[in-house]
Amino acid sequence: MFDSSALDPVDRMMAPTNPSTSSGRIRLGISTCPNDTFAFAGLIDRRVDWRGLQFDIELIDIQQLNDRLFEGDFDVAKTSFHAALLMADRTVVLPSGSALGFGVGPLLLAAESGASPNDGPAVTLCPGRHTTASLLFSLFYRDAEAPKHCVFSDIMPRLKAHQADFGVCIHEGRFTWQAEGLHLVEDLGTRWERETDSPLPLGGIVADRKLGDDVIAKVQAVIRDSLELAMADPSSAMPTMRQHAQEFDDDVLMKHVQLYVNEWTVDLGSVGRSALRRLAQMSEANGIVERAEAGLEVWA
């Protein structure tokens, strides 16, 4: 039997996959961040029609999702668009479920005020090698020392303990960093917007092409139904959000949803597709992805 465990995560994207099309079972992976648990609450709780499919659902950290997608563990999953670029040969982006927009970018934070990663040797923490947050740091701080990676929820505590100099913050921490006594170096999303004049694409739902159009169409319909149910009655998603959140304050959770769930979450549309092309072009131009990988197909 082929063993992909010995491969580096980047190389694992070529590992054999086993979509469960014959049984109608879909191995679905989503992140624990509030915008995902909000959007998928109806699916998780089976308050929407699964359309004859059976979903085996796992909720894990975004970098774990990225790594396990490379390993072929999921048929459908939320992934960073950085990772999606590296898997474009075998996955397709679904129109619904993405996180992108204006004012949604990761924040580059510092343990001390007035410092920058470009100043000299320093430890910068990023929330995973293939996250879009790490991609942005690589795009905008090319002269800085290579970052180290850890689970996103460890970044602010390690900055506070002065175990690192800088950290790229995502998720709920965007709203709580000031209360933690940390210092803003730069909003990486604002820089993206300034340089591209487009919303920042953070992550989306990808499906293995081997599922086939009929199954992918059903998966897309279930996800959109779940999302529209949550948008029509946000309070119905709150129990699922609370169960998986790092931050348990309901106001913070809903601020997160309001920031990351928008018209492009329902459907990427022409603006969302254009933003994905821009991300691919910049990544290729800076040598982060190869030419053959530099494209993201959105399932029609």
Burial class of residue 35, CB neighbours in 10 A (0-12, 13-18, 19+): buried
Rounded to the nearest 10 degrees, the angle between the axes of helix 34-44 and helix 213-232 is 110
Interatomic CA distance for residues 45 and 128, integer angstroms: 29
| Residues in the chain, total | 300
Nearest to 12 by CA among 53, 65, 55, 72: 72
Interatomic CA distance for residues 244 and 238, integer angstroms: 10
* Tokens 């910068």 found at: 124
Interatomic CA distance for residues 49 and 47, integer angstroms: 7
Pairing of strands 148-149, 99-101: unpaired
**Does the active-site annotation cover 149?**
no
Phi-psi region at 61: left, alpha or beta (left = phi > 0; alpha = psi -120 to 50): beta
Q: Which listed residue (82, 130, 149, 171) is catalytic?
A: 171
Q: Are 200 and 192 in contact (CB under 8 A)?
A: yes
How crowded is residue 55: how many other Cβ atoms within 10 Å of its Cβ?
A: 18
DSSP-assigned letters across all residues of 46-110? T-S--TT-EEEEEEE-HHHHHHHHHHT--SEEEEEHHHHHHTTTTEEE-SSS-EEESS---EEEE
Residues with catalytic function: 171
